[in-house]
Amino acid sequence: MGNKYFNPEGMDILDEPIYGGSSTGFVDFNRSRYKWDVKIYDLMNANTWFPSEVNTANEKKNFEMLSDNEKEIYKLTFAQLSFNDSAQEEYLADFRSLATNRLVKATLTLQMMQEVNHSKSYAVLLDAAGNSSEVFDLYKKDNALRRKNERIAEQFARYITGNSAQEMLLSAMASVNLEGIYFLLGFGYIYTLGDKVPGARDMIKFISRDELNTHLPLFANIFKTIQKENKIPASVIDKSYEMISEAVDIELEYGSYLIENYPIMGLSKDLIQRTVYNYANDRLRKIGLEPIFEESEKTYLQKLVEKHLNMNEVKQNFFEANVSTYAKSSIDLDDF
């Protein structure tokens, strides 16, 4: 049993694959098999933030000034986003236990901490807005929300077995879908409300930067590396395409439900479909696969999300530098 913690007969650190290897047990940040794991770890660490840094003092007053439809979009969006982060934190623990490269495992550990931090941020924000219990319990009343959560959870659970490299690849695909598909419309909805709810907007800025600047690159690299290190048959790649098609369906089903029942200015079913298709094609390219969805010009919602991904686009107040800044760095395209 001790070999789990110290295994002198394990692989050399530079030989540890993501799956199927045997580690000595050492985490050595000076020797990495890959180009990207330490870089993503350092970027995650440099951009650590805490919910208390975001000003939510006026969130209740601002929330009460929204229209009825805007209030429902706000609540149903945060109800779904909070599930995403909770599910991802639990999934990461399972995926980490199956991985064998210790530096990749270390990076997954840091991501787990950030997912918990996101969950804390929703609690802080919704407590300030005065609707925490209502929002967190919405899945008990709203069938569309419950169905989306159930479908995401089922996709997470489908391949998290560790039986083969092929299943590890498909499991990583589920996380690419979560980080790259299931959050994005929700981010766009809150940015659409924008200055009406600045506390929510600013909290989402930090969450979205974590998800898109480090968490998505991490799992895109894990997917590509598992594929490179193992003989992955075409049938498994076909399943990857099936999984992202399913993710698109999950996201559009819930997005259509929100827009049909709680229409707000500027949002339409056509807009969200074009947005999700564009996101899905981009995610496929990032994991080295060919895009399969109809592509269109960059949409208004995409531009909103990209605007807030700009690392330091908020004007700095010297005494609030943690809130308005985010470390400038990038992941090389060859590593993504």
For 232-265, what is each residue's pLDDT tens digit?
999 999 999 999 999 999 999 999 999 999 999 8
Q: Which residue of the set 34, 122, 139, 191 is catalytic?
A: 122
How confident is the model over 118-126, as a mean pLDDT? Answer: 97
Residue 317 has pLDDT above 50, yes or no: no
Per-residue pLDDT at 5: 87
How confident is the model over 100-115, as a mean pLDDT? Answer: 97
Whether the CB-CB separation of 300 and 271 falls below 8 Å is answered with: yes
Question: How far is residue 159's CA from residue 166's CA, in Å, rounded to a whole number?
Answer: 9
Whole-model pTM: value is 0.92
In the residue annotation, 182 being an active-site residue is answered as: no
- Give the Å distances, CA to CA, from 110 to 104, 152, 212, 218, 318: 10, 22, 15, 11, 28
Q: Name the more confident of 310 and 296.
A: 296
Q: Which of 309, 301, 233 is nearest to 272 (CA)?
A: 301
Percent of the chain whose predicted confidence (pLDDT) is above 70: 92
Structure-block tokens of residue 151: 């479908």
What are the structural domains of the chain?
40-47+58-335 (1.10.620.20)
How confident is the model over 111-138, as a mean pLDDT? Answer: 97
Structure-block tokens of residue 7: 């295994």
Question: How far is residue 16's CA from residue 226's CA, in Å, rounded to a whole number?
Answer: 12
| Type of residue found at 184 | L
Per-residue pLDDT at 4: 77
Residue 314 has pLDDT above 80, yes or no: no
Confidence bin at 321 (pLDDT 50/70/90): very low
Question: How far is residue 333's CA from residue 161's CA, in Å, rounded to a whole number?
Answer: 31
Confidence bin at 335 (pLDDT 50/70/90): low
Residue 315 has pLDDT above 80, yes or no: no
Confidence bin at 222 (pLDDT 50/70/90): very high
For 131-143, what is each residue's pLDDT tens digit?
999 999 999 999 9
For 153-210, what is each residue's pLDDT tens digit?
999 999 999 899 999 999 999 999 999 999 999 999 999 999 999 999 999 999 999 9
Residue 44 has pLDDT above 70, yes or no: yes
Confidence bin at 266 (pLDDT 50/70/90): confident
Least confident of 9-13, 267-271, 311-315: 311-315
Least confident of 239-243, 295-299, 309-313: 309-313
